[in-house]
Amino acid sequence: MFSLRAFVRRMSHLAARYTGQGDVHVVDPNVDLRYIFENAGRLRRSLEERRSDINIADLKEKYEKWWTKYEAWTKASKSDQSKETLSAAKKALRDEQAGLLETLALPNFVHEVGKQERPMLKPSKHRDYLVQKGHMRVDKNIGVVYLVGYPVLIRNSLK
């Protein structure tokens, strides 16, 4: 039986772990998020639309520091480096993890189509039908709707 602590420690680099009916699938994240900061105006507009007050310059600086540590770690892991060098690179990477975590916490961009409001419900003609048949009367002076007819009589008798 594996201890949970050892199991989690081995899988700390994973973004998600999910299982289906059969085999175990492991997904590693794509951490190259430099494209987010390429269009600063779009990012600022997206943050303003969500009323978020994140400082983009500080976040970009933190992420770039993390990215340089990440590149050093991947280069060290691909070449045959000593275990001490790899652990030092990994420790430096973990020390700068705030840059990655804050960048991953950024909201998604809003597509231009999503900014246009559209009616969610189809216009209903039910109210017009009830008024025409005499089952509903609207007093516009005081803003009251009066329901009349058989369904209202049944409801009142059940009270």
pLDDT in tens, 14-40: 444 455 555 565 666 778 888 999 988
Q: Is residue 26 part of a domain?
A: no
* Claim to verify: residue 101 and residue 137 sit in the same structural domain: no
pLDDT tens sequence across 135-144: 888 888 888 8
pLDDT exceeding 70 applies to what percent of the chain? 78
CA distance 8 to 11: 5
**Domain of 38, in residue numbers:** 32-111
Q: Is residue 52 part of a domain?
A: yes
What angle do helix axes 40-49 and 56-78 make, rounded to 10 degrees?
120
Q: Is residue 86 part of a domain?
A: yes
pTM: 0.55
CA distance 66 to 29: 15
CA 20 to chain centroid, in Å, comes to 24
Q: How many domains does the chain have?
A: 2
C-alpha torsion 147→151→157→159, nearest 10: -70
What's residue 138's pLDDT? 82
DSSP-assigned beta bridge partners for residue 146: 137
Q: Is residue 54 part of a domain?
A: yes
* Claim to verify: residue 141 and residue 106 sit in the same structural domain: no
